[in-house]
Homo-oligomer: A and B are copies of this chain.
């Protein structure tokens, strides 16, 4: 059995959202599972000295255009939510508090934010989304906070600095625009 694909993303990342629509089919074609690993881009940005794309001069304007065009390119429903970006710590904690409902929650949270314009930065909305997929999320216990911090720290320790970020048998790929390379890599590393 081949190792799962590690799929790191931030719930506030448009490119992470687009990747979430493609990763499972791609993995399945090559006999792989996907381990979903939400992380917090804010923590990574502190290490890289980056800031959210919309705040970067020149690049911010381009990014907004590229988000929407890339969504059309991949055939995925998308709008830039308002507000954007947001803190995703509640969504991240909810994910790590859920078991078999974690991935359904992640998909529902992405859809709520990037299609239905629901502010998933708000704890109440996160809990409602978890309930909508039959999950009972815990976002306030110390155990869940510790688990989430440990997951985010582990991602940073592995060098995860962006979203989406995929690791396949130790090989890292950053960006939904690396899916072509991933597809070839899964067939045969090059």
User: Which residues in A have some Cβ–Cβ distance to B below 8 Å?
Assistant: 44, 47-51, 56-59, 61-62, 65-66, 69-70, 72-73, 156, 159-162, 172, 174-175, 177-178, 180-181, 184, 190
Contact A69 B159 (CB under 8 A): no
What would 6 more interface pairs be, CB under 8 Å, given A44-B58, A58-B159, A66-B178?
A50-B56, A58-B161, A62-B161, A62-B174, A66-B174, A73-B181
Candidates B51, B156, B181; contact of A69 at CB < 8 Å: B181
Known: A65-B172, A177-B175, A177-B177. A59 touches B70 (CB 8 A): no
- Provide the bound-state CA to CA distance between A181 and B178, in Å: 13
Contacts of A57 in B (CB 8 A): 47-49, 161
- Provide the bound-state CA to CA distance between A72 and B73, in Å: 25
Contacts of A73 in B (CB 8 A): 180-181, 184, 190
- Main DSSP-derived SS at the A contact region: helix
Contacts of A44 in B (CB 8 A): 58
Contact B69 A58 (CB under 8 A): no
- Provide the bound-state CA to CA distance between A65 and B172, in Å: 9
- Provide the bound-state CA to CA distance between A48 and B172, in Å: 26
- Provide the bound-state CA to CA distance between A57 and B65, in Å: 27
Chain A to chain B: the 5 pairs with minimum beta-carbon distance, closest first:
A177-B177, A58-B161, A59-B161, A58-B159, A47-B57
